[in-house]
Amino acid sequence: MLAKCFGIGLALVALAISVHSGLTAWRHHRDFYVWIDARPLDVTLDLTRPSVQTVPFTQTCSLAHGESIYFDTGEAGWSEAEVAERFAGLDGTLKIRDAAGKEIASRELTAASVSPWGLDPMLTGIFPFAKGDYTAEIRIERGASDLPGSEHRLYARYELCGLELLPAYLLGAVSAVAGLVGLIAAAITATSIRRHGFWPHPTTCVETDSAESASAGG
């Protein structure tokens, strides 16, 4: 009976671990692709003149190896020379604060910090921090007068390389192994119960009468 109880317990624990690990792996895998499209910061402002703007910054990922602020060109991208020319003179700062007003990150927004990066120039980069709701203060001391227009979209994006999926793969492996152990334990225990029952059969001791034994022997 003890062995059967152990088998049932092992099967239940292993299957519970399998289900929990599998669900966690699925959620992490789903979140990764949400993070790819996420924009923690998305604001439109005028970078050609001095201004101060405070906007929400919603952090949903802390596993990315980097996080960057981009300038939306709305075109097919600018060359390195065009980026240097259009952002010439820019001088400002980006500060991110938590709900209590504590400064979490501070970066310069200058012509020197801007670099071509794919279609949209990258204004600056920051290290990822804890998930939560923050505010970003964008202060422009001197504008980039050669930028076209007066409405410029800035957005933040997580820098992801695929290694962030490693926990999902590890949890998936744990789920598979635990599930296999649980199924094997359940199969062995079920077979034993089907053949022998759950409760042990009582043993009947028959006392033979010595006289009957003697007569039988005679």
Residue 193 covered by a domain: no
pLDDT > 70: what percent of the chain? 89
Residue 109 covered by a domain: yes
Residue 72 pLDDT exceeds 80: yes
The pLDDT-based confidence of 213 (bands split at 50, 70, 90) is low
pLDDT at 8: 81
Residue 205 covered by a domain: no
Residues 149-192: pLDDT tens digits?
889 999 999 999 888 888 889 999 999 999 998 889 888 888 87
More confident of the two residues 34 and 1: 34
**8 Å CB contact between 21 and 175:** yes
Residue 7 covered by a domain: no
Mean pLDDT across 111-129: 89
DSSP string, 83-118: HHHHTTT-EEEEEEE-TT--EEEEEEEETTT-B--T
Residue 89 covered by a domain: yes
How far apart are the C-alpha atoms of 91 and 179, rounded to whole Å?
57
Residue 94 covered by a domain: yes
> Residue 160's CB: how many other CB atoms inside 10 A?
19
How far apart are the C-alpha atoms of 43 and 137, rounded to whole Å?
11
Q: Which residues pair with 92 in a beta bridge?
A: 109, 140
CATH number, position 68: 2.60.120.380
Residue 60 covered by a domain: yes
Domain range enclosing 107: 39-161
pLDDT > 90: what percent of the chain? 52
Residue 137 covered by a domain: yes
Phi-psi domain of 167 (left: phi exceeds 0; alpha: psi -120 through 50; beta: other): alpha
Mean pLDDT across 56-60: 95
The pLDDT-based confidence of 73 (bands split at 50, 70, 90) is confident
Domain count, the chain: 1
Highest mean pLDDT among 9-13, 70-74, 138-142: 138-142
